[in-house]
Each structure stands twice: as C-alpha cells, then as structure tokens.
Structure 1
C-alpha cells in the first residue's frame, strides 16, 4: 500500500505525508478522533466558519514543522532524519489528548488533568503499539532531549503550534487582522547554543505575530459570546454529573456516562488502562448527542441549559475591570429563582462570575530570543526599540458576569 499520500489543506495547499510511520499514526483511532473535535469549541456560535478541527490543525502544524526543519538545515543546523521524524510526530501529536470542545471541558470531565498529560499517556500507548518508534518523540515532547530547540519548536512562546493556529483560526473565522506571516517567521528562525532564536531582521515579524495573537484572544478566543456559551456548557456538564451521581439515570453515550458517574483523576488514568481507551472514544458528538436527550428531561436546570445551547439562546454576559460583588450576584440569584420558579441552588447555575486574561507575551520563562547580527542573544522585549512589545507583556484581566439577558439589561 502506498502510504506517501498528499492532502489538500485550505490554508497551505498540498501537505505531504513523508513516510509510513507518520501515515500509520495519522490512521490510528487516537488521531482520527481529532476529526470530531472542533478546534475552537463553541466559537462557531460567533463565527459560523469556525468549524475546523484539531485534525486540521495537527496536520497543518506538522507541515510547518517540516518547513521549519528545512529552513534550519539550510542555515547549517545539523538535523538527522530521526530527529526530523520525531519532531514532526511530536507536533502532530501535541493535541492528541484534547477532550470534547477542546479546552472548554478540560476540567469538567475529570479532575486536575491537563490535556498535555492525557496526550503523553496516549503517546506512551502508541509507543508500545509501534515497538518504541516514538521514544525520541516523547523525549522531545517532554523536553528531555539534549537539544532543547526541538522542544521549543513544539512548545514555547514562538512555537509551531501557535504559528499554525493563529493563521488557521484567522482564516476560518474571517478575522483577517489576526493573520500572521508564518512563512517569514519560519525563514527567520535559527539555533544558537542548541536553543531556538529569531534572527534580528525578523523582529518586526515577531511584533506583528504578538499583536495578532493579542487581537485574536480578545476578538476570537475570549469573545464574550463564546465565553458565555462555554460557561453554560461547563455548568450543564456539572449539573449532569451532579444528577447522575445522585442516582438519576441520564441518557448519554456509554463513554460519557462513565465520566458522569465518576470523579476521575490522574490516578484513575494511571491505575486503570481502560479509562484512557474510554476517554479516546469521547468527542464533540457525545456531548451534543446527549444534550439532545437532556433538552426534554424533567430537571429544569438540565432541560433549560440544554435547550438554550441547542437554540443559541445564551446567557447574557458583561465584562468589567473589577469582580462582581456578592450583593449583586445574590440579588440576581433571587431574581432567577422568581423568573424560572426554581430554588436557590438551581438558580446558581444561571448566575456565574469569573475572569479571563490576555497576555500576548510573557517575558519570563521561555522568552523569545533574538540573535543579533554580532552573535549575542537578547530577549525580544530588550532587542526592540518599539514600545509595543513591552506593552504586550502586560497581563490584562477582565471579570465577567453571566446571567439571563433580561436580568442584565434591566
């Protein structure tokens, strides 16, 4: 069987699958599941075109990694065929652990387990199936390889992941102000002392990249309507878990039912190998399919939140610079009790507060390094004479209040 296939990507054009191992990983059920997980969760309720998946993103990131490796090799960086393949597999699998609706339900279906950790468990399972072929891939992903620039290409403040998702999300949402020059940035990459750097002439491209990232967060990822929808979905799953664990028999897919019945932790994943396989069956369809049943349930909270999501009748949301006071939320809870004829605990599902933060660049930790013409390496915030990069290092936090729209407007 010919496994060197060519895929047509709407963002980059043709993408080559370079060898049999990468083809077999793409064909695996763990990876194919990403076709059924939308990249931007519920953001299509705001931008109807945002229907692309984690599958799209992973393939696009793999192709950008190939281009980045080629660009570095053209500059004399020695990269073996084994390192090339491992780095492409690391970025291909970097999101394989995502659950339904990507980040939205990350801490709702199980407790205290990040998708990166679930992804590592999946990589370990794949490594067993493929007789150790992913040893180096896992080392790179965990930043255990002696050449750290490979991990920095996978996960850093200027990684291949971000280069793809910013361009891809901009394309599918139609928010073209978020488009970045990923091709030019890749051409400006280099390696100094085995760490990833950007050549000095690429500094304006980095500034544009950071500006686009900041804009995409406020305009897309943290759009108030998307935040409201995500809050509602989290509360819906919370209510479904509460009812299930109280003995209520809810209609749900078999995989979802397991996660509703149990408060699964990382220890459960590690001690019960079946949990990972059950998790690997979960995708967006499990949630939507179950919600269709729940819209007719006798429980008013479950029924109402389900119908509101299905019909896009979302809670209102307001942002402010200060947290909402307890007096305000208590008053709204009592108004919801009267509005929906429900008790105080039930009303609490319809009044939610929280905060969202946006920082385009964090100067501490794995900062973006600029390679000056004379060979010294400095932080991008120190290398630029443009004040914008320093300004973008500031973390901006906004506090939100979600409540029925008729209560927020009156």
Structure 2
C-alpha cells in the first residue's frame, strides 16, 4: 500500500505525509476522532466559517514543523532523522487528548484533567500498539529529551502549535487582522545552546505575532458571545450530570453517559485503562446528539437551556473591569425565580458570573529569546525599541455577567 500521501490544505496547499509510521498514526482511530472535534468549539455561532477541526490543525502544525526543521538544518543545526521524525509525531499528536468542543468542557466532563495529560496517556497507548515507535516523540513531548529546543518547537510561547492555529483560525473566521507571517518567523528561528531563539531581524515579525495573538483572543477566542455560548454548554452538562447522578434518566450516547454517571478524575484515568478507551469515543457529535434529546426532557432547566443553545437563543452577557457583586447576582437570581417559576437552586443555572484573561506574552518562564547581531541572547520584552511588547506582557482580566437577555435588560 502506498502510504506517501499528499493532502490538500486550504491554508498551506499540499501537505506531505513523510513516512509510513506517521501515515499509520493518522489512520488510527484516536487521530481520526479529531475530525469530529471543532478547533474553536462553539465559535461558529459567531463566525460561521469557523468549522475547521483539530484534525486540520494537527496536520497543519506537522507541515509547519517540517518547514521549521528543514530551515534549522539549512543553518547547520544537526537534527538526526530519528529526532526529525519524533518531533513531527510530537506536534502531530500534541492535541490528541482534546475532548468535545476543545477547551469548553475540559473541566466539566471530568475533574483536574488537562487535555495535555490525556494526550500523553493516548500517546503512551499508541506507543504500545506501535511497539515503542513513539518513545522519542513522547520524551520530546514531555520535555525529557536532552535537546530542549525540540520541545520548545512543540510547546512554548513561540511554538509551531501557535503559528498554525493563529493563521488557521484567522483564515476560517475571516478575522484577517489576526493573520501572521508564520513562514517568515520560521525562517528567523535558530538554536543557541540547544535553546530556541529568533534572529534579531525577525523581531518585528514577533511583535506582529504577539499583537495578532492578543487581537484574536479578544475578537475570537474570548468574544463575548462565544463566552456566553460556552457558559450555557457547561451549565447544560452540569445539569445533565446532576440529574443522572440523582437517578433521573437522561438519554445520552453510551460514551457520554459514562462521564455523566461518574465523577472521573485523573486517578481514575490512570487506574482504569478502559476509561481512556471510552474517552476516545467522545466527540462533538455525542454532545450535540444528546442535547437534541435533552430539549424535550421533563426537567425544565435541562430542556430550556438545551433548546436555547440549539436555537441560538444565547444568554446576554456584559463585561466589566470590576468583579460582579453579590447584590447584582442575587437580584437577578430572584428575577429568574419569579420569571421562570424556579426554585433558587435551579435559577442559578441561568445567572452566571466569571472572568476571562488575556496576555499575549508572559516574560517569565519560557520566554521568547532574541539572538542579537553581536551574539548576545535577550528576552524579547527587553528589546530596546519595542514598547508594544512590554505593554502586551500585561495580563488583562475582564469579569462577566450573563443570563437571559430579558432579565439583564430589566
């Protein structure tokens, strides 16, 4: 069988599958599942074109990684064929553990389990099936390999993951202000003492990258309507889970039912291998299909929220620089009790507060390093003539209040 396939990507054009192992990984059910998980969760409710998936993103990131490794090799950086293949696999599988709707339900279906950890567990399972073929890829993914720059290409503040998702999300949402010159940035990266750096002549491309990332967060990822839709979905899952654990029948797909019935934690994943296999069956379709049943459920909270989300009758939402006070929320909860004839416990599903934060660049930790012409390496925030980057290092937090529009507007 010919496994040297070429895929046609709308962002980059033709993408090559470089070897048989990567082809077999892409064909595996774990990876094919990513076709059924949208990259931006519910954002297509705001930007109708945002229907691309984690499958698209993973392949695009693999393509950019190939370009980055080839560029580094052209600058004399030694990268063995084993390292090359391993880091390609690591970036291909970096999002393997995402659950339905990507980040939205990360802490609703189970507790204290980040998608990166699930990706690691799934990579370990794949490694067993491929008889140790992912050993080096897992070592790089976990930052256990002796050459840190390979991990930094996969996960850092200027990694291949971000270079793809910003360009791809900008393309599919039509928010072209968020587009970045990923090709130029890739040409500007280098390695010094096994650490990833950017050559000084690429510093303005980095400034544009950070500016685009900040804009995409406020305009796309943290768009107020997207936040509202995500809050509603989280409350729907919480209510379905509550009813299920109270012994009330809530029709759902078999995989989703297990996560509604149990409060699954990280320890459960590690103790019971079957849970990971059930998780690997979960995707966006499980949730949407179940919500279609729930809109007719006898429980008023579950049915109302489900129908509102299906019909895009979303909560109204307002952002504030200050925390939302108890007086405001208590008043709205009372209004919800009166308007919908609900007890307080159920009315609380309709009035929600929280906060979102945005920081384009965090100077501490894994910072972006600039290789100056005279040979020194400095943090990008310390570059002399880039005050914008210093400003973008500030974490901006906004607090929100959301609920039915007829209540918020009274």
Q: TM-score range by the shorter chain?
A: over 0.9
Partner SS, residue 349 of structure 2: helix
How much does 1:338 deviate?
Answer: 1.1
Partner SS, residue 397 of structure 1: strand
Equivalence for 2:60: 60
- Kindly provide the CA deviation profile for residues 318-372 of structure 1, in whole angstroms up to 9, marking residues without a partner as x: 0000011001100000100111111100000000000000000000000000001
RMSD: 0.4
Tell me if 1:237 matches 2:244: no
Equivalence for 1:389: 389
- Kindly provide the CA deviation profile for residues 295-339 of structure 1, in whole angstroms up to 9, marking residues without a partner as x: 000101000000000000001000000011001100000100111
Q: Distance in 1 between matches of 2:317 and 2:204?
A: 36
Q: Distance in 2 between matches of 1:6 and 1:61?
A: 15
- Kindly provide the CA deviation profile for residues 224-283 of structure 1, in whole angstroms up to 9, marking residues without a partner as x: 000000000001000000000000111100000000000000111111110000000000
How much does 1:384 deviate?
Answer: 4.0
Equivalence for 1:288: 288
Tell me if 1:26 matches 2:58: no
Equivalence for 1:362: 362
Partner SS, residue 350 of structure 1: coil
Equivalence for 1:132: 132
Equivalence for 2:186: 186
Which 4+ runs in 1 deviate beyond 3 A? none
Conserved in 2, the CA contact under 8 Å of 1:256 and 1:286? yes
Q: Distance in 2 between matches of 1:405 and 1:30?
A: 40
Tell me if 1:313 matches 2:299: no
Q: Distance in 1 between matches of 2:129 and 2:315?
A: 46
Partner SS, residue 333 of structure 1: helix
Q: Distance in 2 between matches of 1:305 and 1:234?
A: 10
Partner SS, residue 133 of structure 1: coil
Conserved in 2, the CA contact under 8 Å of 1:39 and 1:101? yes
Q: Distance in 1 between matches of 2:180 and 2:300?
A: 45
How much does 1:408 deviate?
Answer: 1.4
Q: Distance in 2 between matches of 1:322 and 1:202?
A: 38
Equivalence for 1:253: 253
Tell me if 1:39 matches 2:43: no
Structure 2: tracts of 5 or more residues without a match: none
Partner SS, residue 318 of structure 2: strand
- Superposition pairs for residues 331-342 of structure 1, below 5 Å? 331-342=331-342
Partner SS, residue 302 of structure 1: helix
How much does 1:403 deviate?
Answer: 1.3
Q: Distance in 1 between matches of 2:72 and 2:409?
A: 55
Q: Distance in 1 between matches of 2:124 and 2:384?
A: 42
- Superposition pairs for residues 6-405 of structure 1, below 5 Å? 6-405=6-405
Conserved in 2, the CA contact under 8 Å of 1:42 and 1:229? yes
Range with bigger deviation, 253-262 or 377-386: 377-386
Partner SS, residue 216 of structure 1: helix
Q: Distance in 1 between matches of 2:42 and 2:381?
A: 34
Range with bigger deviation, 68-77 or 337-346: 337-346
Conserved in 2, the CA contact under 8 Å of 1:38 and 1:52? yes
How much does 1:401 deviate?
Answer: 0.2
Q: Distance in 1 between matches of 2:163 and 2:384?
A: 21
Aligned residues: 410
Conserved in 2, the CA contact under 8 Å of 1:199 and 1:370? yes
Partner SS, residue 263 of structure 2: coil
- Kindly provide the CA deviation profile for residues 91-136 of structure 1, in whole angstroms up to 9, marking residues without a partner as x: 0000000000000000000000000000000000000000000000
Equivalence for 2:409: 409
Conserved in 2, the CA contact under 8 Å of 1:203 and 1:384? no
Conserved in 2, the CA contact under 8 Å of 1:317 and 1:403? yes
Q: TM-score, normalised by structure 2?
A: 1.00
Conserved in 2, the CA contact under 8 Å of 1:44 and 1:51? yes
Partner SS, residue 287 of structure 2: helix
Conserved in 2, the CA contact under 8 Å of 1:332 and 1:351? yes
Structure 1: tracts of 5 or more residues without a match: none
